[in-house]
Structure 1
Amino acid sequence: MTDDIKKYFNGLLQKVNGLYVIQITDRDGVPLLRVSHDQNVDFSLMPSFIPTFTTASDQAGKLGLGRNKTIISMYSNYQVVQMNKLPLILTFVGAEDCNTGHILALEHQLDAHLEEIKMAVSEA
Structure 2
Amino acid sequence: MMSQEIKKYFHMLMETVDGLDAIVVSDGDGVPVLKVAYESTPELALRPSFLSTFGLASGQASKLGLGKNTTIISTYQNHQVIMFNKLPIVITLIARLDANCGMLLALESSFDEVLQELKTAVDVPTNG
- So what's the TM-score if we normalise by structure 2? 0.89
Q: Which runs of 5+ in 1 are unaligned?
A: none
> Does residue 24 of structure 1 match 2:25?
yes
Distance 2:8 2:110 in 1: 15
Aligned-residue Cα RMSD (Å) equals: 1.4
Distance 2:22 2:88 in 1: 20
Task: Give the 4+ runs in structure 1 shifted more than 6 A.
Answer: none
The equivalent of 1:57 in structure 2 is 58
- Alignment coverage as a number of residue pairs: 123
Identical-residue share of aligned pairs (%):
47
The equivalent of 2:92 in structure 1 is 91
2:43 is paired with a residue whose SS is: coil
Deviation track 1:49-81 (CA, whole Å, cap 9, x = no partner) reads 211110110111111111001111111111111
Distance 1:42 1:87 in 2: 25
2:115 is paired with a residue whose SS is: helix
Q: Which runs of 5+ in 2 are unaligned?
A: none
Distance 2:45 2:108 in 1: 24
Deviation track 1:3-44 (CA, whole Å, cap 9, x = no partner) reads 2111111111111100111100000011000101233x4323
- So what's the TM-score if we normalise by structure 1? 0.92
> Does residue 43 of structure 1 match 2:43?
yes
